[in-house]
Amino acid sequence: MGQHDDNGIIIGDKYKIDADSLNVTLFVKMVREDKTHYWYPKAYFCTAKNALDYMVDKEINGTGFADLQTICQKIEELYKLIQGLPDSILPKLKVE
C-alpha cells in the first residue's frame, strides 16, 4: 500500500495518484490483451482529498449495493488502503 513508482503513489492494486502543477490525477490500472498493464487517467482533481473521495465513491458504487455487509466490508478495505498511505503523500501531491 502506498508504494511509490516513478510517477506517483500506488494505492492498492488498481489505483495510482500523481500530481503536476495543475492537477491531482487519479489513474486506474488497465490490462491489455497481451496481459501487460498501463495506467489510464480516470479523473482530475484540485486536491488529493478529492481524488481519494472519488476513489471511495467509485468503489462503494461498484458493489452494486448488494447488501449492507458487502458495503461495510468495502468501506473497511478502503479505509485501510487510505490509512496505509505514507504521511508524506499530501505535501507531495499538493498542487501549487
Q: Which three cell numbers stand for residue 91?
A: 505535501
What mean pLDDT is reported for the chain?
78
Average pLDDT over residues 10-24: 88
- Given this model, what pLDDT does residue 2 score? 47
d(Cα 40, Cα 5) in Å, to the nearest integer?
15
The domain containing residue 35 runs over which residues?
A: 3-93
Lowest mean pLDDT among 1-10, 42-51, 67-76, 83-92: 83-92
Residue in the structure block whose three cell numbers are 508524506: 88
pLDDT above 70 as % of the chain: 75
Contact in structure between 41 and 29 (CB atoms under 8 Å): no
Residue 42 has what pLDDT? 94
**Cβ atoms of residues 74 and 58 within 8 Å:** no
C-alpha grid cell for residue 59? 468503489
Q: How far apart are CA 22 and CA 44, in angstroms?
A: 9
Domain count, the chain: 1
What is the grid cell recorded at 2? Answer: 502506498
Residues 52-92: pLDDT tens digits? 888 888 877 776 666 777 777 877 887 777 777 665 555 55
